[in-house]
Amino acid sequence: MAEERAFGPVRLIPAANQGRYPHSNSVYVDGAGILIDTGADEARYRALLAGPGVKEVWLSHWHEDHLKYLDLFDGLPLRMMADDAEPLTGIEAFLDCYGMPQEEYREYWRRVLPADFQFRPRRPTRYFAPGETIDLGTCTVDVIHAPGHTPGFTAFFFHEPAVLFMGDYDLTRFGPWYGDRDGSIDETIASVRRLQRLPAKVWLTSHESGCFEGDVSGLRRLPRRHRRARGQAAGFPRRATRWRRSSRSASSASRGAARLLRMGRRRHHGQHLERLVKNGAVVLKDERYQRV
CB of 12 to Zn ion, least distance (A): 17
Which of 64, 168, 170, 187 touches Zn ion by CB under 5 A?
168
CB of 97 to Zn ion, least distance (A): 11
45 CB contacts (<8 Å, ≥6 apart)?
13, 26, 35, 38, 54, 69, 72, 73
CB of 258 to Zn ion, least distance (A): 17
Select the span of 2-10, 166-174, 188-196, 279-287 touching Zn ion (CB under 5 A).
166-174
Select the span of 91-99, 106-114, 155-163, 167-175 touching Zn ion (CB under 5 A).
167-175
Select the span of 26-34, 57-65, 129-137, 268-276 touching Zn ion (CB under 5 A).
57-65
Catalogue the long-range contacts made by 190-194 (C-beta closer than 8 Å, 24 or more residues apart): 190/148, 191/146, 191/147, 191/148, 191/149, 191/153, 191/155, 192/146, 192/148, 192/218, 192/219, 192/222, 193/219, 194/144, 194/146
CB of 129 to Zn ion, least distance (A): 22
Select the span of 5-13, 86-94, 163-171, 217-225 touching Zn ion (CB under 5 A).
163-171
CB of 127 to Zn ion, least distance (A): 19
Q: Which is nearer to Zn ion, 87 or 270 (CB)?
A: 87
CB of 39 to Zn ion, least distance (A): 10
Q: Which is nearer to Zn ion, 14 or 183 (CB)?
A: 183
Select the span of 26-34, 62-70, 88-96, 251-259 touching Zn ion (CB under 5 A).
62-70
Q: Is 83 in the site for Zn ion (CB under 5 A)?
A: no
Q: Which is nearer to Zn ion, 78 or 260 (CB)?
A: 260
Q: How many residues bind Zn ion (CB under 5 A)?
A: 2
Which of 63, 230, 259, 269 touches Zn ion by CB under 5 A?
63
Residues of the shown chain interacting with Zn ion in the complex, contacts defined by CB under 5 A: 63, 168
